[in-house]
Every structure is written in structure tokens, then in C-alpha cells.
């Protein structure tokens, strides 16, 4: 192995370990609570309601593989609902092809999602989740198209598409 590389790795590993310890409590707090009492299910209740894949995304803030969702290529008119509680989150007229491999929107239906900052990749990112059941949907970035300039990068497994 190249001596420079091995030395750099030797320094980086302890730094990453320390950062992980510091940010771990924030990850524990990352799971969002439902705003509506009737959607405030326990972990086991959610497990019973959802597929294992959707549970991992919605309740454990997982991320599906890029280009794995059929909804990435969905071009029909319709509404994208939360896969956890069926709240309408996005309209097809705000959907666009971001090239990232995840269904992307430049705006959400008003009041349907809430945001919080997470540190899962150390760098702060803005996580968003369903405003009713608290289910994790994706992350929102400031590199989207006009007029909003936003890019809602959504997991397809967290959505249910209802064509018009």
C-alpha cells in the first residue's frame, strides 16, 4: 500500500470513530414522532402495518438503492401519497427528473411534510417526513429547478402513487 495513503487512513479512522460517538445520540433522536395521536404507533405496530422495506425507510430513516424504484420513472398524472398513512404529499405536476435515481419533486403539497436537520452523513442535511405519521420520506436540497429551487429527493418505497 502507498505509504501516504496508509498514513492518512491511520489518522482518519480514529477521527471518524470519535465523530460517530459524538453524533450517535442525534441519530437516536432522528426518528420523527407522529403529529396526530391516532398515527402514533409503536415500532411493532408499524412493523405489522408495513412491508419490511417500507418499514426500514419510513420508521428507521433508511434509503433505498438509487434507480430501484419504479416511481422514479413514473410520468402519469396523479398524486403521491405517504406509504405509511396515505396522506397526499406530492402532485405529479411538481415531479421532475433530477437524474439522481430517486423520485424528485420541486415542491410538496402545502402542509404535508415537516423538516428537521440530521447528521447521518456527518454533514448536516435537511430530512423531511410526513406531517401526519412522522414517516421518513427523504431529504430536501437547494439545487432544484425554479420557481422553488428545492429538490425533494424521495424514497419510492415511502410513497404510494394514485394515478388520476
Interface ranges with Zn ion (CB under 5 A) = 82, 84-85, 87, 130, 132-133, 135
Of 82 and 153, the one with the shorter C-beta distance to Zn ion is: 82
Peptide bond preceding 147 in cis form (omega within 30 of 0): yes
Number of other residues whose CB lies within 10 A of the CB of residue 83: 26
Provide the CA 98 distance to its chain's centre, in angstroms. Answer: 15
Cα atoms in the 13 Å half-sphere on the side-chain side of 123: 3
C-alpha–C-alpha distance, residues 107 and 64, integer Å: 21
Of 59 and 132, the one with the shorter C-beta distance to Zn ion is: 132
**Is residue 143 a contact partner of residue 125, using CB atoms and an 8 Å limit?**
no
Least Å from the CB of residue 2 to Zn ion: 49
Of 23 and 115, the one with the shorter C-beta distance to Zn ion is: 115
β-pair partners for 98: none
For the stretch 119-142, what's the b/e string if a residue is b when 16 or more beta carbons lie within 10 angstroms of its beta carbon? beeeeebebbbbbbbbbbbbbbbe
Least Å from the CB of residue 52 to Zn ion: 18
Sign of the torsion formed by the C-alpha atoms of 160, 59, 124 and 129: positive
Of 130 and 153, the one with the shorter C-beta distance to Zn ion is: 130
Active site residues: 153
Amino acid at each position: 500500500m502507498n505509504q501516504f495513503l496508509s498514513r492518512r487512513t491511520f489518522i482518519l479512522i480514529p477521527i471518524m470513530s470519535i465523530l460517530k460517538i459524538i453524533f450517535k445520540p442525534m441519530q437516536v433522536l432522528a426518528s420523527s414522532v407522529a403529529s396526530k395521536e391516532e398515527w402514533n404507533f409503536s415500532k411493532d405496530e408499524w412493523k405489522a402495518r408495513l412491508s419490511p422495506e417500507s418499514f426500514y425507510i419510513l420508521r428507521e430513516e433508511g434509503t433505498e438503492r438509487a434507480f430501484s424504484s419504479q416511481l422514479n420513472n413514473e410520468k402519469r398524472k396523479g398524486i403521491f401519497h405517504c406509504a405509511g398513512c396515505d396522506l397526499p404529499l406530492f402532485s405529479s405536476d411538481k415531479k421532475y427528473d433530477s437524474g439522481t435515481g430517486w423520485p424528485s419533486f420541486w415542491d410538496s403539497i402545502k402542509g404535508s411534510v415537516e423538516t428537521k436537520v440530521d447528521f447521518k452523513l456527518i454533514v448536516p442535511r435537511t430530512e423531511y417526513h410526513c406531517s401526519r405519521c412522522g414517516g421518513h420520506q427523504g431529504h430536501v436540497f437547494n439545487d432544484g429547478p425554479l420557481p422553488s429551487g428545492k429538490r425533494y429527493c424521495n424514497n419510492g418505497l415511502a410513497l404510494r402513487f394514485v394515478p388520476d
